[in-house]
Structure 1
Amino acid sequence: MAFRKAYNNILETIGDTPLVRMNKICKHIPATIYAKVEYFNPGHSVKDRMALQMIEDAEASGQLKPGGTVIECTSGNTGMGLALACIVKGYKLICTLSDKQSKEKMDILRAMGAEVYVCPTNVAADHPDSYYSVASRLNKEIPNSFYPFQYDNPGNARAHYLTTGPEIWEQTEGKITHFVVGVGTGGTISGAGKYLKEKNPNIKLWGADTYGSVFKKYHETGEFDENEIYSYITEGIGEDILPKNVDFSIIDHFEKVTDKDGAVYTRELARKEGLLLGYSAGSAYAVIEQMKDELTADDVVVVLFHDHGSRYVGKVYNDDWMRDRGFLNDRNKSALDLVNKHGDKPLLTVGTEELVSHAVEKLRKYDISQIPVVQDGKFVGSIDERAIFDVMVENKSIDNMKIKEIMSKPFPIVESDMDLKDVMKMVNKNVSAVIVKIDNNKHHIITRHDLIAALH
């Protein structure tokens, strides 16, 4: 086993984060998809990279002097990276945050010695109370202070050009075809993207944007449309300004993702891949889902996940918070979630050699409308009220008729983690139910009636 060396301080552990293949959540997508998991940085986010770069650049240029104060407007993660750098290097830190940021982020920053100013979200960027304006004002008022302003600071993108891009290129052995990442300040997609495009100009750069942000329309039309700006819930992506770090010329596509889809996919990534991630991770993955028709089996996609889910336990991972916003309902659940509502009941079946009259008795007794047909432990057919009715309409006697004489095709078998929306697509006028495979020895059924009841 190879062991890491000993480090002189926590800043030396920034970078060299793992690339992890995703398997379950994306099994319906033909491409190979990897996650660049940035919560392995010591501050648990990708922002550690650029925070350190901006501090070191300021030290080299003389903008930041010993005993100085660093002041930054942040959604939380850059503040955490700056906190680590300030602790090691001996600077004071002041962070301004918008009030939509999670309480966990604010508490963590305070725990790391930062002074935190919470500013209103629903004000224009140039409003005196915006978190941009408050940081700028404090910078003017406090002597020997440095305001990195990550949105325009070239050290932001340069950090990713020097570290993130080369790591991804090496980890994929140069096979990467698509790089997907949420866009906020723009440093990650622009810096890493520039490096990757220099290696292979055919690599596609896809940015996750959110409704309420200006990026997508500006990229496609060149118009900064203030009508596009409105409050949204997703943290860490989208902007109501145009940061200089967003290099629109190298980004191939922006994809808008709803607050709800970002939240739902964030939870799915935890449940299906064991990746406890921040809100923007779900938005970044949603881009792949929404663009999957453009991917092929030859593609190698890397999606960068910015931060750790511990900062969102009171929000995205809190059922009450999700439910209050209409994000948590059965539309976002899997087949297993619906099966569990009646999982204590046995799966009723009939054999091919049984009499149809026996099936009728089961339908009546258990108040159901269809039953799977089994033979030698395998699902070989199905029978429902309609098939029996058709026989009776033809004036045929069912008294001595066997199931195999009137049974239809077997119900489709689906995996237990299939999304209910995908299950719905399989149920139609000719298919009244699906069989859910729970394990090799246990199955259950979801009927059209079950879906209507759950998704009405």
Structure 2
Amino acid sequence: MLVRQTIVPVMTNRLIIGDTPLLPLRNASQSLPCTLYAKAEMYNPSGSIKDRLANSLIDAAERDGRLSPHGVVIEVTSGNTGIAVAWVCACRGYKSIIVMSDKNSREKQDMMKAFGAELILTPHTAKPDDPSSNYKTAERLATQIPRSFYLDQYNNPANIDCHYCTTGPEIWEQTEGQIDCFIAGAGTGGTISGVGRFLKERNPAIEIVAVDSEGSIFTSYFETGKLGVAEHYEIEGIGSDKLVGAMDFNVVDRFLPISDKEAFLTAREMARTEGIFCGGSSGAVLAATRKVVRERQDIKCPVMILADSGNRYLSKIYNDSWMKEMGYLD
């Protein structure tokens, strides 16, 4: 006998995005002055927080008439947005073309292709203004392909709006307004900016901590106001080699850079001790959260974002041979 259930048509995929669980990290909180809470965004349909973004960007493009039926969606990604865009496009009948650096994992590439995306890889050594960079490649394609639209998550206001309207309110409700510190990775800037803006409007005393990659330009720019030179880093999904429009530095209280090694080892630890299978950026966020609560003994309800699942990093951070080759494991 069938029990009553909600049947969601595929075309209304927006109904199954969000409302992700807030999990207490019991083992990670040991020896700390408070319990750490993690919003598990890998529970979104395509496996990451970027489902919120892709759905919002495509909704906005449809609403504004910039994306027509059977159109072509173009996007630059470090992986998760590309997967989410490919999934939404598969649901709605659009073709997707994803431009991505060749440093990102094979699993991400395969997931995009599984949803029907055309994938274009660019050299990770290319600077932002280089014609072969992912940014310039996407811009060029958008001028050459008829009925195409470049989402441009890095500079699209809908990136911030989707987290202001969904992720922020969910966290506020789940903590009953008790949250006093929010920690998330800064990549496109949308999550930290949108959630941070929402929370600051409810309680200006909430500390907003942006987690960065060592080698990214964000931290030095936030602290000095000057643009530095980006260096290579392996963490996918956080950090940047240029300033982007979706990063609102005004809502952030602090940037905290984390090394590749610390991020990856912490992610592996979380899988073993919490049973939470997450990516390297989530490892960086947990490492940063621990540092913050050790320094700030007055924090009682810190909430962090775990952006994606570890299933897209099996060939990298969950592969002992790769970790040893990169010098992250002895």
Distance 1:112 1:15 in 2: 20
Number of the residue aligned with 2:148: 145
What 5-or-longer segments of structure 1 have no aligned partner? 330-456
Equivalence for 2:166 = 163
Judge conservation of contact 1:44–1:307 (CA < 8 Å) in 2: yes
Q: 1:266 to 1:3 in 2, by over 3 A?
A: farther
Q: Percent identity?
A: 45
CA contact 2:164–2:195 (8 Å) conserved in 1 = yes
Aligned residues: 326
How far did residue 3 of structure 1 move?
7.4
SS in 2 for 1:249: helix
* Structure 1 segments of 4+ aligned residues over 4 angstroms from their partners: none
Question: Which of 24, 41, 44 is equivalent to 2:44?
Answer: 41
Tell me which of 213, 218, 228 is aligned to 1:215.
218
Alignment partner of 1:182 is 2:185: yes
Residues 214-243 of structure 1: CA distance to partner in whole angstroms, max 9, x if unpaired?
Answer: 1111111111112xx111111110001111
Q: Is residue 308 of structure 2 the alignment partner of residue 307 of structure 1?
A: yes
Q: Distance in 1 between matches of 2:217 and 2:234?
A: 15
Q: Partner amino acid for 1:324?
A: E
CA 1:121–1:298: 2 relative to 1, 3 Å: closer
Output one character per residue of 1:332-375: Cα deviation in whole Å (capped at 9) or x when no partner: xxxxxxxxxxxxxxxxxxxxxxxxxxxxxxxxxxxxxxxxxxxx
1:119 and 2:122 aligned: yes
- Partner of 2:285 in structure 1? 284
* Corresponding residue number in structure 1 for 2:206: 203
Which position in structure 1 is the counterpart of 2:16? 13
Q: Which has the higher contact order (CA 8 A, sep 6+)?
A: 2
Offset, 1:181: 0.5
Match of 2:244 in 1: 243
Q: Distance in 2 between matches of 1:131 and 1:12?
A: 31
Contact map agreement 1:68 1:91 (CA 8 A) in 2: yes
Where 2:57 maps in the other structure, the secondary structure is helix
SS in structure 2 at match of 1:291 = helix
**Pairing 1:57-96 to 2, within 5 Å after superposition:** 57-96=60-99
Q: Could you tell me which residue of structure 2 aligns to residue 432 of structure 1?
A: none
Rounded to whole Å, the distance in 2 between the matches of 1:220 and 1:300 is: 26
Secondary structure at the aligned position of 1:240 is classed as coil
Change (3 A) 1:192 1:27: same
Match of 1:360 in 2: none
Q: Is the 8 A contact 1:25 1:268 kept in 2?
A: no
**Are 1:31 and 1:295, in contact at CA under 8 Å, matched by a contact in 2?**
no
Is the 1:178–1:301 Cα contact (8 Å) retained in structure 2?
yes
Instruction: Confirm or deny: 8 A CA contact 1:48 1:78 kept in the other structure.
Output: yes
Offset, 1:160 = 0.3
Is the 2:28–2:36 Cα contact (8 Å) retained in structure 1?
Answer: no
**3-state secondary structure, aligned to 2:46:** coil
Could you state the TM-score of these two structures normalised by the residue count of structure 1? 0.70
8 Å CA contact 1:32–1:297 kept in 2: the answer is no
Does structure 1 residue 110 correspond to structure 2 residue 113? yes
Correspondence 1:321 to 2:322: yes
- Indicate yes or no: 2:248 matched with 1:265: no
Task: Report the counterpart of residue 31 of structure 2 in structure 1.
Answer: 28
Letter in 2 for 1:28: S
Structure 2 residue aligned with 1:369: none
Deviates more, 1:215-224 or 1:25-34: 25-34
For residue 75 of structure 2, give the secondary structure of its aligned residue in structure 1: strand
Cα offset, 1:297, TM superposition: 6.1
Of stretches 239-248 and 80-89 in structure 1, the one that deviates more from structure 2 is 80-89
User: What's the offset of the Cα at 1:52?
Assistant: 0.5
User: Partners of 2:179 and 2:307 in 1: how far apart?
Assistant: 19
State the structure with more CA Rg.
1
Displacement of 1:298 in angstroms is 5.2
In structure 2, how many angstroms separate the alpha carbons of the residues matched to 1:4 and 1:291?
Answer: 42
